[in-house]
Structure 1
Amino acid sequence: DEYAKAFDEMIEKTETDHAPWHLIDACDKDEAYYKILECCVETIEAKMKENLQHDGIRADQMKMPLLIMPLLQDVDLSLTIDDETYKEELKKAQKKLRVLSNELYLKKIPLILCYEGWDAAGKGGNIKRLAACFDPRGYNVNPTSAPNAYEASHHYLWRFWRHLPKSGHIAVFDRTWYGRVMVERIEGFCNEQQWRRAYNEINEFEQDLSRWGAVILKFWLQIDKDEQLKRFEERQNTPEKQWKITDEDWRNREKWDQYEPAVNEMLRLTSTTFAPWMIIESNSKEYARLKTIHLVIEAIENRLNQKG
């Protein structure tokens, strides 16, 4: 009787147009097999007649608690910090973050840190200063490159699900699922219906992680075109840094004016109260690193101070 009640409640609360339940009388097994096959055939035939590029719910149609984000061109990139103050403040902030990350572990709260930004914006150095605070047994840094053939045959979020942290652990993503609405959009690796639909898919994905209990922070590292050119040329002219620069970096730079409005739209439609975007002014690498650590500290403290 208890199971029957639970089953009825499950069916009632998960019955949807896109994934309906089919109740099958299983007293006669042969009849049940027939009904199941009949349902499969009818559903597949109906789906084949639909528009396979159905847009679904777009970001501008969904009801998500979105934050107001500034445009990239309005970000003040003159912010900086002197070297002595940076070293002193970084040491203190890292010590505090080390203690807080241990508290997350003890309370079984997962932390997810997402990095996006322009090429040469300083993601690697930023992550390095954060990772120095964490117990090596309790975190992973996940560098994201183009999906291989096997990964591309799945839903684009699939490969990220596999690298989410377990309770109390930390996952850092060096580039993320937001490639769907940036590089895949600009380079034509998905069609317009797919990348428009992705805004809502990503928000729901992150909302699920938040409801699970994860703290989610997303960082966009912002530099200007002159600073990027300066860093590109430094990498190209320094033998030990040449591995950091590729022809693809130069090609992406040529598409700056295409990427910027795409990034602005991404920030506007996916910065939620449960997974906010933080724009990090990164013309000064030292300022960017310190600001990022302070934001992580603030987010962890807020979560630890929550009741329940």
Structure 2
Amino acid sequence: MLLHSYQKPDPQDKDTQKQAIDALRQKLFVSQQTIKEAKLPVLVLIEGWGAAGKGSVIGKVISSIDPRSFRVSKVGAPTDEERRKPFLWRHFVNIPEAGNFLFLDSGWMKETVQMRLFDRLDDKKYAERLQAINTFERQLVDNGYLLLKLFFHIDKKEQKKRIEKLLKNEDTAWRVGDYDEWQTEHYSMCFDCFDDYLHQTNTPDAPWHIIDASDKKQAEFETLSILTDAIDKAIKAKQEKKPRPIIQKDYPLEPMPLLSEIDLNKSVTLEEYETLKRYYQKKLRTLHNRIYRKKIPVIIAYEGWDAAGKGGNIKRIASALDPRGYEVIPIASPKPFELSRHYLWRFYNRLPKTGHITIFDRTWYGRVMVERLEGFCSEADWKRAYNEINEFERELTDWGAVLLKFWIHIDKDTQLARFTERQNTPEKQWKITDEDWRNREKWDLYEEAVNEMIQKTSTKTAPWHIIESNDKKYARIKTLKIVTEALEDALKKREK
């Protein structure tokens, strides 16, 4: 246990300490340019006791850095809007760009521990929360982030003294919250809860550093020392291009056929199509109202071959929905500010609120398809992504989302016929590009990648649905049917 075994460092001579702090500040000032050039994102999470001096130390540390290179964020209680997203959503969307610092004055630890202390997380939910946090932190490190976690520690006597001093002055009393005073009254209980959290989230990739905050200069020295040392190691590792281990967890998977084994001759008549389309769209319209009322989030992810009919398929889903309760998001090449962050960041940013539906036209699976085949990421990156995607999707389903993944499938001859039609029809020519023809030349490579993707990410909680789309009408009916049945199942579970 980290707090139980913690021992204060020996006191330093004040003059020696001052010289060391000045040298570390200068070192940090110089290193910020190296960070910028190396495109290293640095996230410093500072947690600790109320009145431990987190804010004042952050202020001293950032005084050494160009203001254009950092952000400071104080994370308070989640807003109503944030509560309608997954727990880690507000933290994931806040991660820094490559080459920049983010200093967090409390974050996911404080929120988790508070909920635990006030009996809003039972043992099962607490364990799930810790698992999600460890996954989140490991993913950041795996994707090139320097993550530092500091816990500012003071004893009960010191905390009480500081709170009393702050409360005596009307200009500083506002800095003391009810939770800070509650901590002092329940110091032992908080100590044990903090210690348990620190122990269970103290990993080799993201270890905790306990800071002696009883002396503010000592806290500044330790913080600067840990930060500059970690930056040196991270820059060296980046220059040496040390590979990160590729983790593949055993997720329960659904057995899936290869694309070559799919029967693409399935079809419906025009009369069957019109009848079934009206039936399922009417049902979907009613279900949309019910999932809004029950606050169930829905995510529908579309992938498939070019010209397979994704757009028409999406249109038949969307036209049955209340336009105020859904969004269709076409995913194109990432923009520079998206490339400078974790590749899942732009998808976290676009998750629906509870009760709403988001339809992705192309998805996070680009990591293991186009990015893999076009060399936009390293082999280690895309091999690691299978596990990261499974973890991401588990977060979504644990949150309570209905997650549906469709691969819209056609054969090579059908694609050629549709490409040719588009090219020869003036009003459809905007649908065909040189890139489509280039991708077609890599059909066999893409098929191999898609097969691997489906086999490794069709989990029990987020399976793939392969939609036969040589007949677009058949594909639309099958998709409508799957969506309506999934929403009905989710409502049944919620109403139990």
Using the size of structure 2 for normalisation, the TM-score is 0.60
Match among 433, 438, 441 for residue 254 of structure 1: 441
Deviation of residue 45 (structure 1)?
A: 3.1
- Give the distance between the partners of 2:266 and 2:242, measured in 1 at CA: 45
Task: Give the letter for the 2:282 counterpart.
Answer: K
1:286 equivalenced with 2:473 (yes/no): yes
Match among 13, 31, 34 for residue 221 of structure 2: 34
Partner residue, 2:282: 95
- Give the distance between the partners of 1:56 and 1:301, measured in 2 at CA: 41
1:138 equivalenced with 2:333 (yes/no): no
Greater relative CO (CA pairs within 8 A, separation 6+): 1
Task: Give the letter for the 1:125 counterpart.
Answer: G
1:213 equivalenced with 2:400 (yes/no): yes
Match among 418, 422, 443 for residue 235 of structure 1: 422
Question: SS in structure 1 opposite 2:404?
Answer: strand
Once the two structures are superposed, what CA deviation does each residue of 1:220-242 show, in whole Å capped at 9, x if it has no partner? 00000000001001111111111
Residues 409 and 469 of structure 2 are in contact (CA less than 8 Å); yes or no, is this contact kept in structure 1?
yes
Q: Identity percentage over the alignment?
A: 58
- Give the distance between the partners of 1:279 and 1:53, measured in 2 at CA: 38
- Give the distance between the partners of 1:226 and 1:31, measured in 2 at CA: 71
Residues 117 and 222 of structure 1 are in contact (CA less than 8 Å); yes or no, is this contact kept in structure 2?
yes
Once the two structures are superposed, what CA deviation does each residue of 1:265-300 show, in whole Å capped at 9, x if it has no partner? 000011111211100000000000000011111111
Deviation of residue 133 (structure 1)?
A: 1.4
Match among 107, 111, 120 for residue 298 of structure 2: 111
Deviation of residue 191 (structure 1)?
A: 1.1
Partner residue, 2:335: 148
Question: SS in structure 2 opposite 1:99?
Answer: helix
Once the two structures are superposed, what CA deviation does each residue of 1:83-123 show, in whole Å capped at 9, x if it has no partner? 00110011000111111111111111100000000000000
The size of the alignment, in residue pairs, is 306
- Give the distance between the partners of 1:84 and 1:45, measured in 2 at CA: 69
- Give the distance between the partners of 1:257 and 1:86, measured in 2 at CA: 32
- Give the distance between the partners of 2:462 and 2:437, measured in 1 at CA: 31
Residues 55 and 194 of structure 1 are in contact (CA less than 8 Å); yes or no, is this contact kept in structure 2?
no
> Which of these two proteins has the greater Rg computed from alpha carbons?
2
Question: SS in structure 1 opposite 2:413?
Answer: helix
Q: How does 1:147-186 map to 2 (within 5 A)?
A: 147-186=334-373
Change (3 A) 1:53 1:249: farther
Deviation of residue 77 (structure 1)?
A: 0.1
Once the two structures are superposed, what CA deviation does each residue of 1:175-215 show, in whole Å capped at 9, x if it has no partner? 00100100011111111011111111111111111111111
Match among 212, 233, 236 for residue 25 of structure 1: 212
Deviation of residue 53 (structure 1)?
A: 4.9
RMSD: 1.4
Deviation of residue 3 (structure 1)?
A: 3.8
Residues 372 and 379 of structure 2 are in contact (CA less than 8 Å); yes or no, is this contact kept in structure 1?
yes
Partner residue, 1:56: 245
Deviation of residue 8 (structure 1)?
A: 2.6
Once the two structures are superposed, what CA deviation does each residue of 1:115-157 show, in whole Å capped at 9, x if it has no partner? 0000000000000000011110111000011112221111111
- Give the distance between the partners of 1:43 and 1:55, measured in 2 at CA: 17
Task: Give the letter for the 1:57 counterpart.
Answer: I
Residues 55 and 197 of structure 1 are in contact (CA less than 8 Å); yes or no, is this contact kept in structure 2?
no
Partner residue, 2:178: none
Residues 307 and 418 of structure 2 are in contact (CA less than 8 Å); yes or no, is this contact kept in structure 1?
yes
Question: SS in structure 2 opposite 1:216?
Answer: strand
- Give the distance between the partners of 2:395 and 2:241, measured in 1 at CA: 26
Task: Give the letter for the 2:433 counterpart.
Answer: T
Q: Which runs of 5+ in 2 are unaligned?
A: 1-185
Partner residue, 2:460: 273
- Give the distance between the partners of 2:236 and 2:431, measured in 1 at CA: 48
Question: SS in structure 2 opposite 1:54?
Answer: coil
Deviation of residue 167 (structure 1)?
A: 0.6
Question: SS in structure 2 opposite 1:272?
Answer: coil
Task: Give the letter for the 2:392 counterpart.
Answer: F
Higher mean C-alpha displacement, 280-289 vs 38-47: 38-47
Residues 53 and 193 of structure 1 are in contact (CA less than 8 Å); yes or no, is this contact kept in structure 2?
no
Match among 246, 253, 258 for residue 71 of structure 1: 258
- Give the distance between the partners of 1:52 and 1:133, measured in 2 at CA: 50
Question: SS in structure 2 opposite 1:114?
Answer: strand
